[in-house]
Amino acid sequence: MAPGKPGKSTGASENPSVTLFREYLRIDTVHPKPDYDAAVRFLERVGTDLGLACQKVEVCQGRVVLILTWQGTNPRLRSILLNSHTDVVPVFEEHWTYPPFEAVKDSQGNIYARGAQDMKCVSIQYLEAVRKLKAEGKSFARTIHLTFVPDEEVGGHKGMEMFVQRPEFKALNVGFAMDEGLANPSDTFSVFYGERSPWWIKVKCMGSPGHGSRFITNTAAEKMAFEEQVAAWCRGAGDGVTYEFHQVRGLSHPGMLYLSLPCQSDPWWKAFSGVCRDMKLQLKLEIFPAATDSRYIRAAGHPAIGFSPMNRTPVLLHDHNEFLNEQVFLRGIEIYSRLLTALASVPPLPNES
């Protein structure tokens, strides 16, 4: 999908969900100084308009988790959690065709902005799926919570990692969670049931941009090595040179992967995969190549799936000219509305009776 001429910022013919998406993309939540207050105000306004209960939890100074809740008819049942993060990674504007925080839409319907794929699209798709279901007069036994968390792009240490330890998170009574996935350039949709355990160390190295997991030619990641090489560099540099890992091997014992391995006997996976089968969505089950906030949710004991409904879309998270086509975005709202209907209607489980 090559860039075409940019379209107007809004228009009478534009789907209101797309307009809302572009409005969110224009909120500058880029590191190192994300405007979290503006994002929370925007999302709280949308949630209030939808009749959702709003709760704000400051997990540490300046870091607020927003919770929007659609109460189920049987609050004793475990809830459905829809998680997304509000922050986005930095940009190099000189490499962008359009300004990365103007959400320009070209003649092909491609919307260019940082966060278009990672992951402001998903945040708005959740909300618009709820809007659609409410407009249809739907109600469900299970409560649906939407959480919008800060700092995922810098490890989640002042976001989800702290939030899952809070009584407010425990009060959500989570049964099943969904979080971000990745685009897929084929007809297939990627579904992630676990992820690698990352090691984080801060080293500056220049190379081609894009997510380090994608094996891009001349990427900075391919120039780097494992711990022994890092240690050797420091030793060779002379006395007084040290290094430290910002994050090592995930959250527990070395090498542990946090898995929600799908099986047909699992009621959550049965509901999720059943919708995809009915909608004729081809799924590819994968381990996420990097790390998301799902690892904290899984470590707290809750099954979680990483899923962003973006097929026929190049993988552009963290890359220049990140975009999402408006038709792919709108299709995602329909997919989420069907998924929520199934998941929030899962019958009471044996341990919920």
Positions annotated as catalytic residues are 87, 152
Asked if 132 and 338 count as a contact pair (C-beta separation under 8 A), the reply is no
User: Smallest Cα–Cα separation from 176: which of 75, 295, 81?
Assistant: 81
> What SS3 state is found at 190?
strand
CA-to-CA distance for 123 and 39, rounded, in angstroms? 11
> What SS3 state is found at 43?
helix
CA-to-CA distance for 58 and 162, rounded, in angstroms? 10
The verdict on whether omega for the bond into residue 32 sits within 30 degrees of 0, i.e. cis, is: yes
CA-to-CA distance for 134 and 157, rounded, in angstroms? 34
Give residue 186's Cα distance to chain centre.
20
Longest C-alpha distance within the chain, in Å?
A: 69
